[in-house]
């Protein structure tokens, strides 16, 4: 794990200030729980949990956590498409959450077992992709943008042009291995909607990326931040929190949301159909939505928390950081991904195959 010792208050001092995290957490009432094996199988993104979150949960509940990682939403979907291999809790992004709901891959939640739902900002207690939060709870939210090494880039690369339509940084560019997101960013650069279904506009975005592909050093599996940190690339498409983590280690790194706008995403907590330990999954969800546990996670991974109670425990270096909580002007230019059906997904995946081979 990364060491962010340069922060004005460290993770260690934060936890000390709140007391032993597990000691202060609010838990579910035991009444009504069925007897269940003391295990829960958690499938999450890499570097996307607090430093001690898993051990705190295990110490507080006696429930063993088996923790597996996936690289992107496509891998998560593919892993569960043929049937749940045994996971109890997963973390899909909003459009994939909707896709999995429609495919009947996610089961409804029992809100009576998640009292910490009350800690969420009211703006996140409902959603277009999951009305009433019947199937999912919000985990983190943020933007996608450009990370860059300041000493090797002229000024601020505040346009998707540097990623999709320029030879200025040829050979030092990292794309992200997210077909839908990368296509959406190309569409934004061209002046179209991230969620365009126009065949003409999608073809134009594909042609743009095929032309640019020889200038791209690597299509990264969600590790563009590490490639920047090691100096292997100078400019990379990445999630804001991943970039903020390495910015804490290297003052020469920075992050920007391009002027054309970007992707506004929300990751969720959901229980897949066939989960072997659904009650324990509810316990883990409730734990993650606790104020102190949520603050410790946000402090460690530096993504925007939808947890109002957790945010209230954070300092201004977090709550007032525009890379975490963008301005209203920036947010107005961003779009959330919408699930637009399997046909559009197939068109994008087939185009991505051609782009990757270019």
Are 182 and 285 within one domain? no
pLDDT at position 33 over 60: no
Residue 90 phi/psi, 5-degree rounding, is -130, 165
Are 224 and 335 within one domain? yes
Q: Higher confidence at residue 187 or residue 12?
A: 187
Q: Higher confidence at residue 30 or residue 293?
A: 293
pLDDT at position 109 over 60: yes
Per-residue HEC secondary structure of 53-78 comes to HHHHHHHHHCCEEEEEEECCHHHHHH
Is 146 contained in some domain?
yes
Left, alpha or beta for 189 (phi > 0: left; psi -120 to 50: alpha)? alpha
pLDDT at position 285 over 60: yes
Band of the pLDDT at 24, cuts 50, 70, 90? very low
- Please state the rounded mean pLDDT for residues 3-24: 33
Is 5 contained in some domain?
no
How far is 351 from 347, CA to CA, in rounded Å? 6
- Please state the rounded mean pLDDT for residues 106-112: 98
Band of the pLDDT at 147, cuts 50, 70, 90? very high
What pLDDT was estimated at residue 46?
87
* Each residue's pLDDT tens digit, 302-325: 999 999 999 999 999 999 999 999
* Each residue's pLDDT tens digit, 156-197: 999 999 999 999 999 999 999 999 999 999 999 999 999 999
Counted domains in the chain? 2
Contacts of 191 (CB under 8 A, 6+ apart): 260
Q: How many degrees, rounded to 5, is the angle at CA 325 between CA 27 and CA 130?
A: 55
Are 215 and 184 within one domain? yes
Give the single-character DSSP code of 270.
Answer: B
Are 89 and 162 within one domain? no
Structural element, H or E, at residue 236: strand 235-239
How far is 327 from 314, CA to CA, in rounded Å? 18
Asked if 268 and 351 count as a contact pair (C-beta separation under 8 A), the reply is: no
Is 230 contained in some domain?
yes
CA distances from 76 to 79, 91, 133, 134, 216 (A): 5, 9, 21, 20, 26
Domain limits for position 308: 11-136+270-319
Are 22 and 131 within one domain? yes
Q: Higher confidence at residue 1 or residue 201?
A: 201
pLDDT at position 105 over 70: yes
What pLDDT was estimated at residue 36?
87
pLDDT at position 3 over 50: no
Are 74 and 110 within one domain? yes
What pLDDT was estimated at residue 51?
95
Are 183 and 277 within one domain? no
Is 1 contained in some domain?
no
How far is 86 from 80, CA to CA, in rounded Å? 9
- Please state the rounded mean pLDDT for residues 254-280: 97
How far is 11 from 28, CA to CA, in rounded Å? 26
DSSP-based three-state secondary structure for 335? strand
- Selection from 298, 268, 336, 315 nearest residue 109 by Cα: 268
pLDDT at position 68 over 80: yes
Residue 243 phi/psi, 5-degree rounding, is -70, -40
What pLDDT was estimated at residue 9?
30
pLDDT at position 120 over 80: yes
Structural element, H or E, at residue 240: helix 240-247
Give the single-character DSSP code of 8.
Answer: S
What pLDDT was estimated at residue 117?
98
Band of the pLDDT at 26, cuts 50, 70, 90? very low
pLDDT at position 7 over 70: no
Longest dimension (CA), the chain: 63
- Selection from 338, 284, 288, 317 nearest residue 87 by Cα: 284
- Selection from 327, 295, 326, 321 nearest residue 308 by Cα: 295
For the record, the structure tokens of 120 come out as 């969420």
Are 15 and 124 within one domain? yes
Are 252 and 312 within one domain? no
Q: Among 4-13, 127-136, 144-153, which is the least confidently predicted range?
A: 4-13
pLDDT at position 260 over 90: yes
Asked if 132 and 305 count as a contact pair (C-beta separation under 8 A), the reply is: no
Are 224 and 345 within one domain? yes
Residue 32 phi/psi, 5-degree rounding, is 95, -10
CB-facing half-sphere around the CA of 292: CA atoms within 13 A: 17
* Each residue's pLDDT tens digit, 192-238: 999 999 999 999 999 999 999 999 999 998 889 999 999 999 999 99
Are 227 and 342 within one domain? yes
What pLDDT was estimated at residue 124?
96
Asked if 141 and 187 count as a contact pair (C-beta separation under 8 A), the reply is: no
How far is 145 from 344, CA to CA, in rounded Å? 23
What pLDDT was estimated at residue 34?
54
We report the CATH number of the domain holding residue 107 as 3.40.190.10
For the record, the structure tokens of 77 come out as 């979907």
For the record, the structure tokens of 94 come out as 């909003």
Is 324 contained in some domain?
no
Is 25 contained in some domain?
yes
Is 3 contained in some domain?
no
Strands in 64-70's sheet, in edge-to-edge order, are: 64-70, 39-45, 89-90
pLDDT at position 296 over 90: yes
How far is 237 from 256, CA to CA, in rounded Å? 10
% of the chain exceeding 90 in pLDDT: 87
Counts for the chain of helices (H) and strands (E), in that order:
16, 9
Are 235 and 351 within one domain? yes
């Amino acid at each position: 794990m990364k060491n962010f010792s340069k922060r004005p208050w460290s993770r260690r001092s934060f936890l000390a200030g709140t007391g032993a995290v597990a000691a202060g957490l609010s838990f579910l009432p035991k009444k009504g729980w069925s007897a269940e094996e003391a295990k829960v199988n958690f499938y999450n993104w890499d570097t996307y949990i607090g430093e001690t979150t898993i051990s705190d949960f295990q110490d507080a509940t006696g429930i063993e956590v088996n923790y597996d990682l996936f690289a992107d939403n496509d891998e998560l979907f593919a892993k569960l498409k043929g049937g749940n291999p045994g996971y109890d809790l997963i973390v899909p992004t909003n459009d994939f959450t909707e896709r999995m709901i429609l495919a009947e891959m996610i089961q409804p939640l029992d809100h009576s077992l998640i009292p910490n739902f009350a800690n969420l900002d009211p703006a996140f207690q409902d959603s277009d992709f999951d009305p009433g939060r019947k199937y999912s709870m919000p985990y983190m939210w943020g933007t996608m943008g450009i990370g860059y090494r300041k000493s090797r880039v002229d000024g601020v690369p505040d346009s998707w042009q540097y990623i999709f339509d320029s030879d200025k940084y040829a050979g030092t560019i990292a794309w992200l291995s997210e077909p839908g997101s990368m296509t959406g960013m190309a569409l934004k650069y061209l002046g179209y909607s991230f969620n365009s279904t126009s065949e003409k506009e999608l073809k134009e975005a594909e042609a743009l990326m095929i032309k640019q592909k020889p200038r791209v050093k690597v299509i990264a599996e969600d590790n563009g931040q590490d490639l920047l940190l090691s100096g292997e690339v100078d400019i990379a498409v990445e999630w804001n929190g991943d970039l903020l983590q390495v910015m804490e280690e290297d003052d020469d790194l920075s992050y920007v949301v391009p002027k054309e706008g970007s992707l506004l995403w929300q990751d969720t907590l959901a229980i897949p159909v066939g989960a072997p330990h659904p009650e324990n999954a509810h316990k883990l969800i409730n734990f993650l939505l606790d104020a102190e546990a949520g603050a410790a996670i946000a402090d460690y991974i530096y993504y925007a928390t939808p947890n109002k109670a957790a945010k209230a425990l954070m300092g201004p270096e977090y709550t007032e950081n525009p890379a975490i909580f963008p301005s209203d002007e920036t947010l107005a230019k961003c779009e959330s991904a919408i699930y637009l059906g399997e046909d559009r997904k197939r068109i994008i995946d087939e185009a991505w195959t051609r782009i990757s081979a270019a």
